[in-house]
Every structure is written in C-alpha cells, then in structure tokens.
Amino acid sequence: MIDHRQLPQRYLNYSLKNRNTFGFDATAEFTYEITSADQIAAVFVDITQQKMPWRVLGGGSNVILPKKLSGVTLLMNITGQEILSSDGDATRLAVGAGVNWHELVAWTLENNLPGLENLALIPGTAGAAPIQNIGAYGVEIADYIECIEAFDAQEQTFITLTKEACQFAYRDSYFKQHPNRCIVTKVIFKIPKAWKAHIHYADLAKQFSADSNPSPEDIFLAVCKIRTRKLPDPKIIGNAGSFFQNPIVPNEQFETLLKAHASLVSYPDAPGKRKLAAGWLIDQCGFKGQRMGSVGVYENQALVLVNHGGGTAQDILGLAKCIREKVHDKFGVTLQIEPNIL
C-alpha cells in the first residue's frame, strides 16, 4: 500500500529547462518534488508497482538532458544543515541533499568551519557533490566526508555508507558507478579544526604570491574571483562547468608528451602518474571560442562547452565527439566526459 500521507505531489510533463544549467528544453514525464527523506520510500512503492524508470535531479549542473525524460524524475529539494557535534579535533556537520553547494561553503565560513573554501562557487547541490566527488584547486569533497545517508532503491531501505564504502576516487564514487542504486539524502561532514591553506595550484599560487599566509576567507574570495573570470554564468549562457575530466597518464607517457610539447600543463598525481590539463589540450587543438551551430567552446576556458541558445543534448555531444577525436589524434589522450548523460 502507498502511504499517501508521505507521497508528494506528482506533476505530468514537467519542464526541466530551469532545472539544468545548460538550459536545454527538456521535459519530464512524471516528476516528484522530494523535500524529506520519508517521501522517497512512498514514491518508490509507486515506481515499483508501475515498473517505471527513474532518476534523481539536483541542481542540474552536471547533467546533459534529452528533450524527453520518460518515467519518474525526483527533484531533490531536501534542505537544512546543522552542527551535530564538536570536539578538540573536528566538527561534524549534517547537510540535506538539496542544499545549494556554494551557499553551504559560505555558511561554513560564517560559522568558523574552514576547509571547503577551495570548492566555492561550484554549482549544484550537496547531495550531488559526493556522487561526482567534486574537487577544485587541490581539494576534493571526499577529504571532508565522514559518511552518507541514502535510500537503497534495490533493497527499498535507508542505509548509511562510511567514507570507505563510498569508494571515492578522482571524479568518481560508488554512487556514480552504481547510478540507480542509492539516492543520497544527507551528507555528514567531518571538518578538522587543524586548518591548512591549499594554494599550490597555479591560479591560487599566483593570487597569493605575495601572501604565504592567506585566511580561509581570502581563499574563498580568490576562488570566486578566479572562477567568475574563467567560467560563464549559467544564467547568462548555458553550461555545465568543466565538461571533461583532466586525464591522468603514466609518467612515461607524460615525459614523451613533454618532449613533444614543452609547454604542456600538468599537475602531480598519485605516484607514477601525472594529471594533464584538459583545457590546455583542447586549446592546443584550436577549439577555444569556436562555435558549432547553437553550441560552442567558451572563449575564456576551453574546458567549458556552452549552449548559446536553442542547443540540444545531441548538439553538445556532437561537439564533444569532435573535440575528443582531435585531442586523441594530436596527443594520444582520451578525454572523459564529466557531466552525466541522461
């Protein structure tokens, strides 16, 4: 039996144009707005009985939507954040999956909980952030997660996954590897009180070349300034931020590439490996600022693909295919698409 007291309003043929940062004109066949975890269990009784496909949509900042999404789309709007506990070593923080990520980062600084400032201005929600294991300027969200509460769609029950169970890796996690298994409802952060500035990435290092001891607020403002300069505002021009992952290659391949391309931009990674700057690779292939119909490559950052208006998922994926082929032909490196293709 469906508990109609917990079942939220269902909408038919709901427009998702304002729910994806590319601004694609997409429509969901059925949509539920999820404002509490309890609603998910009730909705899944309905989904299971009718055998409908489903997916979760947060801020829509890391997705490529088709014109029509069949089945059920769950709009994740669980909000709220609270401090659970604090001791001499760390502060534990519980955050609803629908909380705006950037607003959360600002809130942590306002409450003297530094650590997430390098991840400022990344679009999306707190619940989507661990799925992608978002990262920027030498910091990953996995560094600060204690555990995650989620609804197991297969077992139809709520579970808690430890940090280890989340299987975090570069732009990857258990949730991304098993996309229709768990729905993140709450993220429990563990913010260490021993704070350290992470300013070794080129843009931040340049920003603080004359200041070796910036505050968390200084770093937050610097990151916002850098991202605003490099990345377009989705409200003005549709985009999903970084479209490709920075490829990681063995040191041997890196050394070979460096001999052929002396200005190759890269960063240290795990022992024996090197992370290449995907934006630099794309720029070297001449794509920066180029346009293909209604879509194109952002003029200030080759890593960002944009929708100039009227573009579709098919258009953006066609452009991505051209870029991947040329980068592979020139450098022998295969770029991986970062946004989820629904």
Residues taking part in catalysis = 171, 242, 338
Lookup result for tokens 């990262």: 135
**Cα–Cα distance, 293 to 211 (Å, whole number):** 45
CB within 8 A of 54, min separation 6: which ones?
A: 47, 71, 72, 73, 74, 153, 180
Give the β-pairing of 81-86 and 68-76: unpaired
Specify the 3-state DSSP secondary structure of 108.
helix
Beta bridge partners of 268: 274
Lookup result for tokens 């180029």: 290
Select from 132, 137, 115 the least CA-distant residue to 166.
Answer: 132
Select from 172, 331, 325 the least CA-distant residue to 254.
Answer: 331
**Cα–Cα distance, 127 to 78 (Å, whole number):** 9
Burial class of residue 79, CB neighbours in 10 A (0-12, 13-18, 19+): middle
CA 90 to chain centre: 25
